[in-house]
Structure 1
Amino acid sequence: MSHKNTLVLTVSLIMILSLVLTSCQTPLSTEQIKETMNAAVNQTMTAMPTATQIPTATSTPTPAATPTPEPVQYGPTNFPDNVDPLTGLTVADPSILNRRPLMVKVSNFPKEGRPHAGLSSADIVFSYYTGQYESRYLALYYGQDSTQVGPIRSGRYIDRWLVYMYQGVLGLMYAFPPEWSAIVGQLGSSRTVSGGPNTCPAICNLNLGISEVSWFANTAELSSYYAALSGADNSKPNLDGMAFNTLPPANGATANEVTVQYSNANLENWKYDSATKKYLRYIDSEDADGNISLIPLVDRDNNEQLAFSNVIVIWAHYETLNHIDTMHEVKLPGNSGPMLLFRDGQVFEGKWKGVKTDGPIQFFDKDNNPLELQPGNSWITVVGDISQSKEIQPGVFQVIFYTESYQG
């Protein structure tokens, strides 16, 4: 019994005794006094509240502070042996970097060849205009391989510059004679591998009904095919020049979406996904009535939507070489121009430079410091030097492709 309850009981007994002793009535018998006292005690005990236990104070643990990840930064020189200098990512097996990059021409038209195969495995994909509102891709593989890349199409003049800059091996399906001569003249015949009856498993015909969409490459096999050729040099090249940082540059503007419009029927659309910190690719689709809409562009190898860490648009001069606008000279080495970098949901203005004939395109900010990319894959679209860009609504950008001979 608590001290408080004992005190209440004692007071009650004193009051009862006082009443008994001071009563002016006939004195109570001993038995009557006992009964009266017992009744009072019972009544008092019933009225007493149950003692409430005072809770023991429990200290609330202070949440541990989440450590800020250290930024990862590489380039533009002195890349570790296990870091791909074209992505800024570590590779599981550094020996894969002891070779030339493989660069494969990928068709975007006719549309029967879509969805493309193997683009999600590329370090870099270049997109450029090929005439009559169409575009074509050149996919580069260095830090990882793809067992199926395509469908493969013919070469263009620009390919000889890009492949030479990245010291690669070109996989393609021939080219128009003047362009073929220029490509082989720049790269040599061994670094120019055109699909044929004796090139499988490097470049194979899957006989899908239309020749333009039937040829595909296996990049590991293409590397082996090249290495076995007489006079081939498949040693590790110096690919310094690009810079990477997990922290974005300062002074970026919000950029949740960007579209490069070659024409109303040829659209490259990217939407930023904050969960993955990548831009997801959408492509034009035309229904039976000719209406154009955007659909996710997937890789047929894994059925996953293309997602790129960096979307880069560079402005370069297209010199049209024929009256039907299907042959263009776009020389990148030794030249430069404006650019836009889309990364981390932001856009950054800068300048691209073809610093070396045999070195990657380099990117710089307005102060001529390296413009750092997000470590990961990059999609680089080469637009004409009079192409127009604008922010059509907050965070949504549009680039309309123009050349002197083509107004998209």
Structure 2
Amino acid sequence: KARFVAGDVDGDKRSDIIDFYDYPDGSSRVHLMLAADGHALRDVIGVAWPIGAMPWLPTQIVAGDWNKDGKADVATVTAGQDGVTHVGLLTSLGRALQYAPDAWTTPAAEVRALGCVNCWPLNGMPLLAGQPNPHRRPLAVKIDNAPAARPHYGISQADMVWELLVEGFITRLATYYHSQDPQTIGAVRSVRFSDRYTTPMVRGSLVFSGASQLMEGLVRGDIASGLYVGVSPQLGQGNAFYRSGVDGKVVPHNLFTSSAALRSATSEVGGGGSVDVPAWDFLASGPHPATVGGFLGSVGAGTLTIPYRADALVRYDYDANANVYLRYQSNGARYVLEVDAANGAWIMAKNIVIIRTDVIVTNVVDDAGGAPSLDMRMIGSGPATIFRDGLRQDGTWSRANLVDAFTFTNLYGHKMYLSPGQTWVHVLPMDWQVYSN
């Protein structure tokens, strides 16, 4: 890839050509092609930077006679991921350019932090006076997503929602409540392998209706190891839950609870102390250019579809006025706008994150119907896509261990940031594709 500017570098009153060239290995160079040489490339090396030292995508070049000697000079202007603008000067020596890095950088007092500071770790919203303690333990509630369990209750108040594949390639939701306290949450369902891999990173209180004998043993082992705490009728906290026939719901799709009941139960099982929740990478609150935070080179994405089975297909439509994605889910016949039945709020995602990884069909049966459970790899790295601000950016996810948050980088190696607000995460098999337009 290359960018070009023109200027009279050697002072002979003719326009010369300067290019800023990006090589496939990530290195970059500036070449000078003089009119006096027929614009031939005489110096193949030019001014060279090693791999990653001068990022091509956020760098522009401009020409002008900076020292008034009648010869054109060149400047590189780079928008750094740290919020600092870096200007490098390439001064004309007649038939060559001499480079001086960081001839000007943004003064420290004027740097605007790219990432949020003093914000909620799971949604990036500002911490304000009168809000709950940000060091309290998040509630990690497993929510039923079968058609008979919809509409959901309380999910609009979750900081983050994960849609996870389970047996039969149906999905369930893992909802994380940290900054808000819904009065009604449901319907609650049983735990699966994936919950053991996501709950530790939020230091959560894992809330579930029940578990198979094998899964209960694994969860109890995690609890004993200090990875999280657990609240469930099966673990002895049945008084935190109740059955309801609201919306015609029947067993097993009608187990409900509340934030207050779960926080009380969490304290009873020893989870009431302070925790430090690893923060995800969110942009600073307030308006921001759509392409900041690793989104240079992104493409428009007004609609996207998650290819679950027919009665769980998910579609997101971008609302440019609200700068959110509205969520729709199929009931097998048509798409239905996702609305929180607890408060009538439309589900409006600021970010949609796609994590593709290895999903394995096991010989473990957690389901009463006999379908084998799914397991999945949640550490290491793999392909990722983030939808934000009406844009799509492909890249890579990475995570060193189960207690860490996920991080994302674009194809240029730059960190991708999320917009403050609710994030929906979809963990999909490696060979599934998410199409957008």
Supply the distance in 2 between the matched residues of 1:201 and 1:74 (Cα, whole angstroms): 41
Deviation at 1:129, TM superposition (A): 1.0
Supply the distance in 2 between the matched residues of 1:197 and 1:241 (Cα, whole angstroms): 30
Q: Which residue identity lines up with residue 377 of structure 2 in the other structure?
A: K
* 1:247 aligned residue: 289
Pairwise mapping of residues 101-116 of structure 1 onto structure 2 (< 5 A)? 101-109=138-146, 111-116=147-152
Contact 2:198 2:402 in 1 (8 A): no
Which has the greater radius of gyration? 1
- Of residues 259, 262, 268, the one that matches 1:222 is 262
* Structure showing the higher strand proportion among its residues: 2
Contact 2:159 2:176 in 1 (8 A): yes
Contact 1:155 1:173 in 2 (8 A): yes
Deviation at 1:233, TM superposition (A): 5.4
Q: How many residues align?
A: 310
Confirm whether residue 155 of structure 1 aligns to residue 201 of structure 2.
no
Deviation at 1:264, TM superposition (A): 2.5
Specify every segment of 5 or more residues in structure 1 that has no aligned partner in the other structure, as ranges.
1-69, 287-291, 396-408
- Going from structure 1 to structure 2, the CA distance change for 1:233 and 1:331 (only over 3 Å counts) comes to farther
* 1:371 aligned residue: 416
Supply the distance in 1 between the matched residues of 2:355 and 2:267 (Cα, whole angstroms): 33
Contact 1:164 1:187 in 2 (8 A): no
* 2:407 aligned residue: 362
How high is the TM-score relative to the length of structure 2?
Answer: 0.66
* Structure showing the higher helix proportion among its residues: 1
* 2:303 aligned residue: 257
Confirm whether residue 234 of structure 1 aligns to residue 273 of structure 2.
yes
Pairwise mapping of residues 133-282 of structure 1 onto structure 2 (< 5 A)? 133-188=169-224, 191-195=229-233, 199=237, 202-206=240-244, 210-229=250-269, 231-232=270-271, 234-245=273-284, 246-248=288-290, 249-282=295-328
- Going from structure 1 to structure 2, the CA distance change for 1:205 and 1:325 (only over 3 Å counts) comes to closer
More contact order relative to length (CA 8 Å, sep ≥ 6):
1
Supply the distance in 2 between the matched residues of 1:353 and 1:388 (Cα, whole angstroms): 19
What is the DSSP-based 3-state SS (H/G/I as helix, E as strand, rest coil) of the residue aligned with 2:307?
strand
Give CA deviations for 1:232-259 in whole Å, capped at 9, x if unaligned.
4521314134232543321110100111
Give CA deviations for 1:193-218 in whole Å, capped at 9, x if unaligned.
11369746633333566221221121
Contact 1:123 1:140 in 2 (8 A): yes
Deviation at 1:380, TM superposition (A): 0.1
Contact 2:135 2:277 in 1 (8 A): no
Contact 2:340 2:347 in 1 (8 A): yes
Contact 1:98 1:235 in 2 (8 A): yes
Deviation at 1:149, TM superposition (A): 1.2
Contact 2:223 2:229 in 1 (8 A): yes
Supply the distance in 2 between the matched residues of 1:278 and 1:260 (Cα, whole angstroms): 17
How high is the TM-score relative to the length of structure 1?
Answer: 0.70
Contact 2:304 2:434 in 1 (8 A): no
Contact 2:205 2:271 in 1 (8 A): no
Supply the distance in 1 between the matched residues of 2:158 and 2:210 (Cα, whole angstroms): 22
Cα RMSD for the two superposed structures: 2.4
Q: Which residue identity lines up with residue 384 of structure 2 in the other structure?
A: M
* 1:353 aligned residue: 398
Q: Which residue identity lines up with residue 74 of structure 1 in the other structure?
A: G
- Going from structure 1 to structure 2, the CA distance change for 1:371 and 1:322 (only over 3 Å counts) comes to same
